[in-house]
């Protein structure tokens, strides 16, 4: 199988059920980060393409898509999920070559995308309003309705999963979507549109406009015809998105990454914890919003955890995505420079590298590779322990007792996910309550992806919840009807 079959019009937009070139004909070059070579061109959509996409979405709401019952939508969304499963190899290869994700991880993302569609497809006709007891002579009830046109700005780190959790939920509630994938990674967004189209999604219900953030992205977030915006990306861009949306008084869901801790107490089951501690830092080469980039370890087991994590790090291999190593390259040379900047701050800041992984022998020279790096004895106040690195770098920080663990855990601007490792039931509950974070995992981390589990941030990690039924509430609005019948 080749990465590009001729059926995927990679340099087109998908608008109103048609594959169309961008209005001004411009293109963006897409690179394979495993080799640093050009992969293909994608469309450089602009505000004109966004206008067309928003019009098409509005027409879909006024047309066939808006007329479908919840059960019909659910059946269609489930069908798209089934078709994704049928084309898993194709999707996985597209993602691996586009963003450098090791093939097995890319495959898991395709499975997660299918799982979102399966979950949401099944939920479509199970979301409903309520009746409210009120004054004599009234029937009062609520209706759950779509926002209308929803805008989806998706980053490059988990395109398929993020499309699943946001576009999947928005379609389920009957919204019509305009999706702007990241300029570094948009092939699986186009492939998703192709699959949805072939499954019979009415035209205009999903539109995809690739392009730069400051052009197509900004045009989408400030568009007066958009009724809800879902954004996943950096804090700096999240601020711009929220400002743009506020001009039109449009609700926004922001997922802006984090500096998530896993906290290991002296009584933890370290055999069980170890793979979670390491994988949650190096999965997708650390380019994960919920990466456990801080490992807090109680003094009594500190040396043991450092030694065992170091041993695991030394076994990690880094190579081309299609070779399916522990880690692939980072998404781009730009991201590699960002991560190397942090690593040189470690060198000059006198921080000890406890262990690193290794490159494969035949590493392509121009790939965006960095070694997974474990840093120990890092002060909780150091930028390496506070800032999101978005690369395969974990810091280990010692602590003494619950109080200090909580203070360090809550000591960054972020609060997306936290893990707690302890056998003490009372402490599990105290920690779950005290940590400021959208998700807390006790004696596990990530819960296998958790399509069903509401997910979102605290502080600068953002606001609003995606995944699970919560996302369906977020992608809908509530209307109250008070009907006086005398
Ligand atoms: O993010 P941006 P970048 C973090 C991570 C990373 C850093 C920079 O720390 O190192 O952000 O990555 C679109 N209006 N995360 O520069 O700019 C852009 O086209 C509207 C964490 O890639 O936030 C892309 O589709 N949209 C994160 C998306 O925003 C705009 C995932 C993300 O790009 C826009 C990615 C604008 N003005 C990076 N400017 C996570 N939470 O998982 C850009 N975009």
pLDDT (average), residues 114-119 = 98
Distance (Å) from CA 237 to ligand 1 centroid: 6
Contact 26, 44 (CB under 8 A): yes
247 labelled catalytic: no
Tell me, using a 6 A CB cutoff, whether residue 256 lines ligand 1. yes
Tell me, using a 6 A CB cutoff, whether residue 290 lines ligand 1. no
Distance (Å) from CA 183 to ligand 1 centroid: 10
Give φ, ψ of 46 to 5 degrees. -130, -170
Q: How confident is the model at residue 447 (pLDDT cuts 50, 70, 90)?
A: confident
Q: Among residues 95, 118, 184, 255, which one is catalytic?
A: 255
Homologous superfamily, domain 261-450: Aldehyde Dehydrogenase; Chain A, domain 2 (3.40.309.10)
pLDDT (average), residues 94-98 = 96
CATH topology of domain 13-256+464-481: Aldehyde Dehydrogenase; Chain A, domain 1 (3.40.605)
Confidence check: pLDDT of 282 > 60: yes
**185: buried, middle or exposed (CB in 10 Å: 19+, 13-18, 0-12)?**
buried
Distance (Å) from CA 144 to ligand 1 centroid: 31
> Of the candidates 298, 290, 297, which has an alpha carbon nearest to the alpha carbon of residue 260?
290
40 labelled catalytic: no
Pocket perturbation via mutation, ligand 1, pick of 154, 218, 233, 415 by most ligand atoms within 8 A of CB: 233
Q: Among residues 289, 298, 388, 466, which one is catalytic?
A: 289
Q: Report the DSSP pairing between strands 358-359 and 206-208.
A: unpaired
The DSSP line for 42-84 is: EE---HHHHHHHHHHHHHHHHSHHHH--HHHHHHHHHHHHHHH
Helices (H) and strands (E) in the chain, counts: 16, 22
List the residue whose alpha carbon is closest to atom 10 of ligand 1: 390
CA distance 365 to 369: 9
pLDDT (average), residues 418-426 = 98
Q: How confident is the model at residue 345 (pLDDT cuts 50, 70, 90)?
A: confident
For residue 110, the model assigns a pLDDT of 98
Ligand 1 atom with minimal separation from the 388 CA:
9
Tens-digit pLDDT profile for residues 194-230: 999 999 999 999 999 999 999 999 999 999 999 999 9
Residue percentage of the chain with pLDDT more than 70: 99
Q: How confident is the model at residue 3 (pLDDT cuts 50, 70, 90)?
A: very low
List the residue whose alpha carbon is closest to atom 43 of ligand 1: 213
Mean residue pLDDT across the chain: 96
Tell me, using a 6 A CB cutoff, whether residue 240 lines ligand 1. yes
Residue for token pair 């605290």: 458
CA distance 121 to 125: 8
CA distance 26 to 43: 6
Tell me, using a 6 A CB cutoff, whether residue 207 lines ligand 1. no
CA distance 245 to 250: 5
Confidence check: pLDDT of 4 > 90: no
Confidence check: pLDDT of 6 > 80: no
Distance (Å) from CA 157 to ligand 1 centroid: 10
Minimum mean pLDDT among 32-46, 113-127, 407-421, 447-461: which range? 447-461
Ligand 1 atom with minimal separation from the 462 CA:
41
Distance (Å) from CA 333 to ligand 1 centroid: 15
Pocket perturbation via mutation, ligand 1, pick of 234, 235, 337 by most ligand atoms within 8 A of CB: 234
Q: Structure tokens of 25? A: 């004909």
Q: Do 13-256+464-481 and 261-450 have matching folds? A: no
pLDDT (average), residues 108-123 = 98
Tell me, using a 6 A CB cutoff, whether residue 214 lines ligand 1. yes
Confidence check: pLDDT of 36 > 80: yes
**Structural domain spans, the chain:** 13-256+464-481, 261-450
Residue percentage of the chain with pLDDT more than 90: 96
List the residue whose alpha carbon is closest to atom 34 of ligand 1: 213
The DSSP line for 336-385 is: HHHHHHHHHHHHHTTPEEEEE-EE-TT--TTS-----EEEES--TTSHHH
For residue 210, the model assigns a pLDDT of 98
Confidence check: pLDDT of 49 > 60: yes
CA distance 58 to 176: 7
Ligand 1 atom with minimal separation from the 236 CA:
23
Distance (Å) from CA 371 to ligand 1 centroid: 23
The reported pTM is 0.97
Confidence check: pLDDT of 275 > 50: yes
For residue 444, the model assigns a pLDDT of 97
């Amino acid at each position: 199988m080749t990465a590009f079959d001729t059926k995927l019009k990679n340099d087109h937009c998908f608008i109103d059920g048609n594959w169309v070139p961008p209005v001004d004909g411009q293109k963006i070059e897409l690179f394979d980060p495993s080799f640093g070579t050009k992969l293909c061109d994608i469309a450089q959509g602009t505000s004109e393409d966004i206008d067309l996409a928003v019009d098409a979405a509005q027409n879909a709401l006024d047309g066939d898509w808006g007329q479908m019952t919840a059960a019909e939508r659910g059946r269609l969304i489930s069908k798209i999920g089934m078709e994704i499963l049928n084309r898993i190899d194709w999707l996985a290869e597209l993602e691996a070559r586009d963003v450098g994700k090791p093939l097995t991880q890319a495959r898991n993302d395709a499975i997660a995308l299918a799982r979102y569609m399966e979950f949401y497809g099944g939920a479509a006709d199970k979301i409903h309003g309520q009746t409210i007891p009120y004054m004599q002579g009234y029937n009062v009830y609520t209706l759950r309705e779509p926002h209308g046109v929803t805008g989806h700005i998706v980053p490059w780190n988990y395109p398929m999963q993020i499309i699943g959790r946001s576009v999947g939920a928005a379609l389920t509630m009957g919204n019509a979507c305009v999706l702007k994938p990241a300029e570094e990674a948009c092939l699986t967004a186009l492939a998703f549109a192709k699959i949805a189209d072939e499954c019979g999604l009415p035209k205009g219900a999903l539109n995809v406009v690739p392009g730069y953030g400051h052009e197509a992205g900004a045009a989408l977030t400030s568009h007066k015809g958009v009724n809800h915006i879902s954004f996943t990306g950096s804090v700096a861009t999240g601020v711009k998105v929220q400002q743009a949306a506020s001009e039109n008084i449009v609700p926004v869901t922001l997922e802006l990454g984090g500096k998530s801790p896993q906290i290991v107490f002296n009584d933890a089951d370290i055999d069980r914890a170890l793979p979670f501690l390491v994988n949650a830092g190096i999965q997708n080469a650390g380019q994960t919003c919920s990466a456990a980039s801080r490992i807090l370890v109680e003094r009594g087991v500190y040396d043991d955890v450092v030694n065992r994590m170091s041993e695991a790090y030394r076994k990690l291999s880094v190579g081309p995505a299609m070779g399916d190593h522990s880690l692939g390259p980072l998404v781009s040379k730009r991201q590699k420079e960002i991560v190397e900047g942090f690593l040189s701050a470690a060198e000059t800041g006198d921080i000890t590298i406890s262990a690193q992984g290794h490159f494969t022998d035949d590493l392509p020279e121009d790939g965006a590779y960095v070694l997974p790096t474990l840093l120990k004895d890092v002060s909780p106040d150091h930028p390496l322990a506070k800032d999101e690195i978005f690369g395969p770098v974990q810091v280990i920080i010692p602590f003494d007792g619950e109080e200090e663990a909580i203070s360090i855990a809550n000591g960054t601007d972020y609060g997306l996910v936290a893990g707690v490792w302890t056998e003490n039931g009372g402490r599990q509950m105290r920690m779950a309550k005290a940590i400021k974070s959208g998700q807390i995992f006790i004696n596990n981390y990530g819960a296998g992806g958790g399509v069903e589990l509401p997910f979102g941030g605290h502080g600068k990690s953002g606001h609003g919840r995606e995944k699970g039924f919560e996302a369906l509430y977020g992608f809908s609005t509530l209307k109250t009807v008070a009907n006086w019948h005398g």
